[in-house]
Amino acid sequence: MNILVIAEPSTGGVKAPTLTTLGAAAKLGGSVSLLVVGPGGAEAASVAGVAKVLSADGAEYAHPLAENVAPLVAKVAKDGGFGHVLFPATTFGKNVAPRVAALLDVQQISDITAVESADTFQRPIYAGNAIATVQSSDPVKVVTVRGTAFEAAAATGGSASVESVSGTGDAGLSKFVGQELTKSERPELTSARVIVSGGRGMQSGDNFVMLDALADKLGAAVGASRAAVDAGFVPNDYQVGQTGKIVAPELYIAVGISGAIQHLAGMKDSKVIVAINKDEEAPIFQVADYGLVADLFKAVPELTQAVG
Partner 1 sequence: MKILVAVKRVVDYNVKVRVKADNTGVETANVKMSMNPFDEIAVEEAVRLKEAGKATEIVVVSIGPAAAQETLRTALAMGADRAILVQTDAEVQPLAVAKTLKAIVANEQPGLVILGKQAIDDDANQVGQMLGALLNWPQGTFASKVVPGDGSVAVTREVDGGLETVELKLPAIVTTDLRLNEPRYASLPNIMKAKKKPLETVDPASLGVDMAPRLKTLKVVEPPKRQGGIKVGSVEELVGKLKNEARVI
Contacts (CB under 8 A) with partner 1, residues 86-125: 90-92, 94-103, 105-111, 120, 124-125
State the DSSP H helix or E strand holding residue 77, giving kind and residue range, or none if neither.
helix 66-79
Among 200, 261, 278, 297, binds partner 1 (CB under 8 A): 261
d(CA 154, CA 120): 25
- Residue with smaller CB distance to partner 1, 32 or 221: 221
* Structural contact between residues 41 and 55, judged by C-beta atoms closer than 8 angstroms: yes
- Residue with smaller CB distance to partner 1, 137 or 206: 137
Among 115, 251, 254, 282, binds partner 1 (CB under 8 A): 251
Q: Which stretch binds partner 1 (CB under 8 A): 28-36, 40-48, 153-161, 227-235?
A: 227-235
DSSP string, 260-308: -HHHHHHHTT-SEEEEEES-TT-GGGGT-SEEEES-HHHHHHHHHHHT-
* Structural contact between residues 259 and 287, judged by C-beta atoms closer than 8 angstroms: yes
Q: Which stretch binds partner 1 (CB under 8 A): 22-30, 79-87, 198-206, 223-231?
A: 223-231
Using the rule CB under 8 A, is 138 a contact of partner 1? yes
Among 11, 12, 59, 130, binds partner 1 (CB under 8 A): 130
- Residue with smaller CB distance to partner 1, 49 or 259: 259
Among 16, 66, 77, 224, binds partner 1 (CB under 8 A): 66
Cβ-Cβ contacts under 8 Å for 116 (sequence gap 6 or more): 122, 133
Among 57, 67, 170, 216, binds partner 1 (CB under 8 A): 67
Q: Least distance in Å: CB of 265 to partner 1?
A: 9
Using the rule CB under 8 A, is 271 a contact of partner 1? yes
Orientation angle between helical segments 91-103 and 66-79, nearest 10 degrees: 60
d(CA 4, CA 79): 11
Q: How many residues bind partner 1 (CB under 8 A)?
A: 89
- Residue with smaller CB distance to partner 1, 156 or 305: 305
Question: What is the total residue count of the chain?
Answer: 308
Using the rule CB under 8 A, is 162 a contact of partner 1? no
- Residue with smaller CB distance to partner 1, 204 or 243: 243
Q: Which stretch binds partner 1 (CB under 8 A): 23-31, 39-47, 49-57, 244-252?
A: 244-252
- Select from 29, 34, 21 the least CA-distant residue to 1: 29
Q: Least distance in Å: CB of 162 to partner 1?
A: 26
* Structural contact between residues 86 and 19, judged by C-beta atoms closer than 8 angstroms: no
Using the rule CB under 8 A, is 143 a contact of partner 1? no
Q: Cα–Cα distances in Å, from 190 out to 60, 93, 143, 158, 250?
A: 28, 14, 19, 24, 12
* Structural contact between residues 30 and 2, judged by C-beta atoms closer than 8 angstroms: yes
Cβ-Cβ contacts under 8 Å for 250 (sequence gap 6 or more): 193, 194, 270, 271, 272
d(CA 256, CA 201): 4
- Residue with smaller CB distance to partner 1, 27 or 268: 268
Contacts (CB under 8 A) with partner 1, residues 2-61: none
- Residue with smaller CB distance to partner 1, 59 or 177: 177
